[in-house]
Amino acid sequence: MNQLILLKSQKNEILKMIKKAKLNPINFKWSVVSSSMTPELQVSRIDYVGSGYFFKFDFEKGGERHAFCSPGDQRLIEHMLSEHSKWGSWAEDKSSFRDWLFYLNREIYQPDLWAEISKYQLPPESEVVPDISNEPFTTYQVEKILSGLNQVRAYLEEQRLGSEEQKRFVKERLNYLADAAKRQGRKDWVHTCIGVLVTITTALALSPEQAETLWYLIRDAMAGIILFLPR
């Protein structure tokens, strides 16, 4: 099988580009794989180990250059075509590779916010009884809820979590939740409360244990007001 693979000097240039992008070359691995354009041809591919991300220096049968990479700009896998000529050039390959390093950096250092949220699911015993009414809270019940929210504030201050901006954001969310208790029905407020707790735990990057403590503080404040059932 014919091969159109990179020269040693070209691979060395790639190494310098990886270092310039502040990525560790030890996390990259070279291989020779089948071309996506010409099945009977083998080409060079570099992988970011353990991620599924790669950059393939590909060719058509006539020698025209192509590149396939993951991640792409807006797609998981992207076909990067030469912009300036039919045949392309090594300079264009390097330009495409430089773009890929940017996309790679973006994805590997991007937090998975959905995964973070999943850490903060309510404890198993915290399910709200399904037939809860949506009637307003009494004045006494509102005062009890506000007392519980003050305990949440005190706990967060004690933990010394977040920047000043994040602390202001959390204060605004808790104030909103306190105000909502005075105007929303019980069922609506419970859903608002859960949303606020998830927002706070994500914003402050709380550990699952810290998030659970927040929920227990709220649950204790709601004792005798809203019934919670074990699952």
Give the tens place of pLDDT for each residue, 39-77.
Answer: 889 999 999 999 999 999 998 877 788 999 999 988 898
pLDDT in tens, 104-130: 999 988 767 666 556 555 554 444 445
DSSP string, 149-208: HHHHHHHHHHHT-S-HHHHHHHHHHHHHHHHHHHHSBHHHHHHHHHHHHHHHHHHTT--H
d(CA 100, CA 46): 11
Phi, psi of 69 (to 5 degrees): -145, 160
Which of these, 223, 227, 229, lies nearest to 147 by C-alpha position? 223
For the chain, what are the domain ranges? Answer: 2-108, 113-229
Is the pTM of the predicted complex or chain greater than 0.75?
no
Does residue 228 have a pLDDT over 50?
A: no
Residue range 153-181, pLDDT digits in tens: 898 888 887 788 888 888 899 999 999 99
DSSP state of 225: T
Q: Please give the Cα distance from 43 to 16 (Å, whole number).
A: 21
The residue written with tokens 């204790």 in the block is 220
- Position 231 scores a pLDDT of 37
